[in-house]
Amino acid sequence: DAGITQSPRHKVTETGTPVTLRCHQTENHRYMYWYRQDPGHGLRLIHYSYGVKDTDKGEVSDGYSVSRSKTEDFLLTLESATSSQTSVYFCAISESYGVGIQEQYFGPGTRLTVT
């Protein structure tokens, strides 16, 4: 497996509380991504990063923020968790050589439940 870890792996939190998920890589890849996976929706991009301190929004970014202060760490924060953010969250990393993005390597996922 590519060197990607996510923490925590499971979390239960209450509505209105802030939550931070961490993704850590040891591959020195430039690109890092946060996805959420929900039944019937497949995988949807929340935010991604194309370098230290360089981030951009994905398809479902409302209610989420990210930060990348080091190449190896990409943090996803839910400022005030809502029940609609109950999901499985995946981090992924990738590189780009020439035209197009190469394969993505995924972390094991974080199962978040907001009660």
Partner 1 sequence: SQQGEEDPQALSIQEGENATMNCSYKTSINNLQWYRQNSGRGLVHLILIRSNEREKHSGRLRVTLDTSKKSSSLLITASRAADTASYFCATDHTGANSKLTFGKGITLSVRP
The residues of the shown chain that bind partner 1, judged by CB under 8 A, are: 31, 33, 35, 40-45, 48, 50, 56, 58-59, 90, 92, 94, 96, 99-109
Residue 10 CB, shortest distance to partner 1, in Å, is: 11
Query: In the bound complex, what is the minimum distance in angstroms from residue 15's beta carbon to partner 1?
Result: 25
Q: Which is nearer to partner 1, 41 or 70 (CB)?
A: 41
Q: Is the dihedral of CA 38, 89, 45, 101 positive or negative?
A: negative
Q: How far is the CB of 20 from partner 1 (least distance, A)?
A: 20
d(CA 61, CA 5): 22
- Cβ 58 vs Cβ 77: under 8 Å: no
